[in-house]
Amino acid sequence: MDKLKQRCRLYRRSAGPSVSGRGFTVSDGFTLLETLAALLISGILLAVGLPLLTGQWRGEVREKRQLEVLYSVMNAGRCVADAVRSAAEVEFSRSGVLRVRTWDEKGVCSGTDEYSVADPDGDGNPDLYHMHDGELNPVASRISGFRCKEVTERVWQVELEASWGDQRALWSTLVYRRADSAE
């Protein structure tokens, strides 16, 4: 039994100086078996943890896209609703262009603004644009649908849709047009 204990001790890590015996030298450090066990445990932890981390990352990307789409459609809806609310005349054409005419205090037309969905930058993502004094200004990105119609006299329904990949958001409201046209 003492010989077995002595042989087992030769293969273990030694806390003291090197020990020689029967052709074997044991020094400070890890044995091959300890190194393989550590690699095996690390591999198992990595195999379990990596899908969790990539799944978390995908969830965050999906959540970011959903929030971006919601913010975009809400911002565009607020902008269009404010324009319709303060307009003297509103017209929505079949081509998807909303024309909003405003009047000053003297009853003179102060200009016509246009809202439309387009992709002038060519990035493949349609955006809502506001044309004011011949200058095109972006309002919100990733707007894929835009509809307006007069429900009753001076009441307009505004509908917007935004999408990014598989994320979609719809926004709809009724807007009461306060201003009167100068006739």
Buried b / exposed e along 101-114 (16+ C-beta atoms within 10 A): bebeeeeeeeeebb
Per-residue confidence (pLDDT) for residue 165, from 0 to 100: 86
The per-residue pLDDT string of the chain (183 residues; one tens digit each, 9 = 90 and over) reads 676 666 555 555 545 555 555 555 556 678 899 999 999 999 999 998 888 888 888 888 889 999 999 999 999 999 999 999 988 889 999 999 999 988 777 777 778 899 999 988 888 889 999 998 888 899 999 999 999 999 998 899 999 999 988 889 999 999 998 866 544
- State how far the alpha carbon of 145 is from the alpha carbons of 75, 116, 117, 160, 165, in Å: 14, 10, 8, 5, 15
What is the pTM (predicted TM-score) of this model?
A: 0.66
Domain boundaries, the chain: 55-176
Per-residue confidence (pLDDT) for residue 26, from 0 to 100: 57
